[in-house]
Structure 1
Amino acid sequence: MYINLSSTFNLFLDDRGLKHLDFFENQVAPMISVSPQSSNYFLKTFFTLAITNESISNGLAAWGALFDNAIEGEDKYLTVNRYLQRGNELIHKNEISTNNDRFDSFIKLAYYLIVIGIHICSGDTKQWHDYFNRCVRLFKDYGGIVKFINDFKYSNDCKFLISNFQFHDVMSSETLKNGTICSMNNYNDLFKFNKILELDDYGIDPYQGCIQSVYLLLGEIMNSYVELKEERFNLNKLLNSSTSGDSGPVINNLRLSYLKRVNEKISELSNKIEYCQPNETQMNQLEEIDQANHLKLFELYRITCKMYLSLYLKQSQPISSEMQNYLINAQGIMDELIQTNLISSLNMSLLICGISCCNKFDRQNLNDKFCSIYERYQVGNVKRIWDVVREAWRRNPYGIVCIDWLDICNDFGWKISMC
């Protein structure tokens, strides 16, 4: 329904801005969310804040303008940036104010997360992460995530902001480089043990649906990769600069110790994958057909986690029988989900499946999936992921090398979010 021009929004936006805000409400928010409207916090939190906050309303107008096909070419770029510039000016005034209170911090965090979403949807490979770092600094200045959510008495709006931040933390290329910004212990305390998304009728999370448990596990896998990668690098450096001689037994003991840690970590994480379950409380809130689709998405991400373990901890070749088995099963599930509202959740699986395609048949199959997905879900980030996959194919034409997609991002000078 078009926003009434006599509403409070017209205090903040011109007529075009109101139309873009309406487009966000009715087109963009439902498209990027995997939750029912009853728990679509892009509307319940962001849109509600926009009623009384000018920076938020300008941010959402920019997000709406980004997807409004009535605006084309340079006009779209100028329109989006006009509303973003206004929102940034207002937030900057708030940032330098000496009278900030906790609600100011809440508004700033919400605004940063909105701008992150806009930049990711546009296909940006840098600015989104600058705003993510602003979120990090905000939490540090505030005293941490736990203090933040405590001060807001575990409100559902605050839970959404924290969950939103956690999702971007786990789904970032930078996480494969440095690990998650917030420790997985802290995330697990909030979401797994205290189960904050299961309390107070929070509903279905708009980014993570009912399967946050497997996203948390993916974060653990990526952190383990970071820890073991540095050790493997130092060990390989030693192996390639030494002759055996008297140092041979010492070096071999180091190798055995490292391989033991790798196998123990693989065993631990494989066990967690095997016993991981979707959130039953949230699943029960869905219609039967939606439950079936969320279960398929859960299984797809379980396979994605297994592929990460195999590629990056085991260092398996993409062409290995293990990886090819995972690939075939993952692609079958993706085919079933492309026509559902869970299409926005396929990016990470698309990437890891793409890296695992080793022949013309599978690569053409994946190319068709990218085209089909982008036709229905025209988000610039999908194109960036496709660029990374095609570069992986160029570097690894026969699937005999373990390709680290972070290396491709670094060579491109990109920071990518899989959201």
Structure 2
Amino acid sequence: MSGLIGWSGLFLAGTKSEETPMKYIQDAVDLCDRTLKSENLTISDKLELVCVFFILCAAEICVGDVKNWYDIFGRLHKFISDECNGNLKSLLGLLGDTEGAKWLLSNFLYHDVLSSSSHEKGTLFPIDQYCEALDIIPGTTQLLDSGTVCDPLQGCVRPMYVLLGEIINTKNKLDKMQEDLNVIVDRDTYKQRKFEFLTTLESDFEELETRIKNTNPHTPSLLLLKDDKELEDHLTLFEIYKLSLRIYLRYMVRKTPPAVPEIQLMLQELTLCMDVIMDTNVQSGLCFALMVAGISCVDPVDREQMEARLRSFCSKFPVKNFELVLILIRKAWELNKDGAHCVNWFDISESMGWYLSLA
């Protein structure tokens, strides 16, 4: 309760300078520390701790924090890792194996794949562990999300967040292969390893592209919607993530620059879809898509319209994360004036000393 009151106070104030909300946030932190020192934590204690850690992360992200939220998330990761010895499936038993426990794990996946640190280093847990624990089947041509848990932060888009994690980890695997390739001295060995690297790269790209195209929305989330307009908005958001991931896959795996016509064509589709759901109940899910669309803008007209779109969004939706996204997009434009290079948003975030969340 202290965490929720603090979070709501920070949201209303829009800043961490308000003394009263921060008092409640600190109370929540102190209670967590006290509970963690207990030698015999019950299942209820563990569930409460995970919930409060998430509330504290959300409160920090809400006001545009770029460091403290990740410290809290790191503490949550350590707590989960210690509890399950690195096996997420066993965590569910330790938390009661309830729908609530699965929801919390799904929430951790969401924050993991939207963290700048994970994009740079890889997700904190392997994606196949998330899939196993959440009843998601990672096929080669389609990802099947048969889980019954409905996460309001992800909704029907959850399969796309799983695939985003796959893209992140594939990028890190290929980067390691490239690094190993660069230190090979023998010419014949280099040629063989380069062939293996390029073959793997193309194979991984084609598999992920196919899965992004073929994967369907999380059906149980759609069954909760009240009317056709809500259904249309949620399905449009799902299509936005499909387009965003297809663009992002090209950046992460093939290192394709945004000026390439293929990306520019997808960008036009993406911005049209985003404009459809501006000012709707699902607009809060646009942070990652706006980042991808923003760094993909090359033409002056597209950049001007994207900045206007984000300014309008920030004025109507008081979550500071979107202001941080605009700052990073502007920096990407400075570094990539003609769109001829592949510029990573998480590299810019790191250069500014930020641990950014696109949640």
Fold shared by both chains (TM-score > 0.5): yes
- Equivalent in 245, 260, 263 of residue 305 of structure 1: 245
Equivalent residue for 1:190? 133
Cα deviation for residue 148 of structure 1 reads 2.9
145-154 or 103-112, which moves further after superposition?
A: 145-154
Query: What is the distance in 1 between the residues matched to 2:349 and 2:66?
Result: 9
Query: What is the distance in 2 between the residues matched to 1:234 and 1:404?
Result: 21
Query: What is the distance in 2 between the residues matched to 1:107 and 1:73?
Result: 26
Cα deviation for residue 160 of structure 1 reads 2.0
Q: Aligned-residue CA RMSD in angstroms?
A: 1.9
Query: What is the distance in 2 between the residues matched to 1:146 and 1:77?
Result: 40
SS at match of 1:397: coil
In structure 2, give the amino acid aligned to 1:64: S
In structure 1, give the amino acid aligned to 2:294: G
Q: Which structure: larger Rg?
A: 1
Query: What is the distance in 2 between the residues matched to 1:60 and 1:366?
Result: 34
Cα deviation for residue 195 of structure 1 reads 5.5
- 1:246-285 matches, within 5 Å, as 247-285=186-224
- Equivalent in 155, 164, 180 of residue 123 of structure 2: 180
In structure 1, give the amino acid aligned to 2:311: C
Deviations 1:231-281 (A, max 9, x none): 22443466xxx7xxxx43332322222111100100111111121100223
Query: What is the distance in 2 between the residues matched to 1:186 and 1:398?
Result: 40
Q: 1:391, 1:408 within 8 Å by CA — same for their partners in 2? A: yes
- Equivalent in 274, 277, 282 of residue 342 of structure 1: 282
Deviations 1:44-74 (A, max 9, x none): xxxxxxxxxxxxx1111111111225xx877
Equivalent residue for 1:207? 153
- Equivalent in 17, 34, 43 of residue 93 of structure 1: 34
Deviations 1:95-144 (A, max 9, x none): 11223222211111111000000111111111111111111111122124
Indicate how the Cα distance of structure 1 residues 379 and 73 shifts in structure 2: closer, same or farther if over 3 A, else same: closer
Equivalent residue for 1:59? 3
- Taking structure 2 as the reference length, the TM-score comes to 0.92
- Equivalent in 296, 299, 304 of residue 359 of structure 1: 299
Cα deviation for residue 230 of structure 1 reads 2.3
Q: Does 1:157 find its partner at 2:100?
A: yes
Query: What is the distance in 2 between the residues matched to 1:265 and 1:182?
Result: 20
Equivalent residue for 1:217? 163
Equivalent residue for 2:51? 110
Indicate how the Cα distance of structure 1 residues 310 and 195 shifts in structure 2: closer, same or farther if over 3 A, else same: closer
Query: What is the distance in 1 between the residues matched to 2:199 and 2:247?
Result: 20
Query: What is the distance in 2 between the residues matched to 1:234 and 1:252?
Result: 13
Query: What is the distance in 2 between the residues matched to 1:128 and 1:298?
Result: 27
Query: What is the distance in 2 between the residues matched to 1:306 and 1:336?
Result: 20
- Equivalent in 372, 375, 398 of residue 312 of structure 2: 372
Equivalent residue for 2:265? 325
- 1:20-99 matches, within 5 Å, as 57-69=1-13, 76-99=17-40
Query: What is the distance in 2 between the residues matched to 1:79 and 1:196?
Result: 43
Query: What is the distance in 2 between the residues matched to 1:280 and 1:87?
Result: 35
- Could you list the runs of 5+ residues in structure 2 that have no partner in the other structure? 138-143
Indicate how the Cα distance of structure 1 residues 340 and 228 shifts in structure 2: closer, same or farther if over 3 A, else same: same
Query: What is the distance in 2 between the residues matched to 1:290 and 1:92?
Result: 41
Q: 2:332, 2:343 within 8 Å by CA — same for their partners in 1? A: yes
Equivalent residue for 1:231? 177
Q: 2:237, 2:277 within 8 Å by CA — same for their partners in 1? A: yes
Q: 1:190, 1:196 within 8 Å by CA — same for their partners in 2? A: no
In structure 2, give the amino acid aligned to 1:273: I
Indicate how the Cα distance of structure 1 residues 160 and 196 shifts in structure 2: closer, same or farther if over 3 A, else same: farther
Query: What is the distance in 1 between the residues matched to 2:168 and 2:15?
Result: 38
Q: Does 1:293 find its partner at 2:233?
A: yes
Q: 1:63, 1:80 within 8 Å by CA — same for their partners in 2? A: yes
Indicate how the Cα distance of structure 1 residues 214 and 81 shifts in structure 2: closer, same or farther if over 3 A, else same: same
Query: What is the distance in 1 between the residues matched to 2:268 and 2:91?
Result: 43
Indicate how the Cα distance of structure 1 residues 231 and 195 shifts in structure 2: closer, same or farther if over 3 A, else same: closer
- 1:378-389 matches, within 5 Å, as 378-389=318-329
Equivalent residue for 2:60? 119
- Taking structure 1 as the reference length, the TM-score comes to 0.79
Equivalent residue for 2:344? 404
Q: 1:303, 1:330 within 8 Å by CA — same for their partners in 2? A: yes
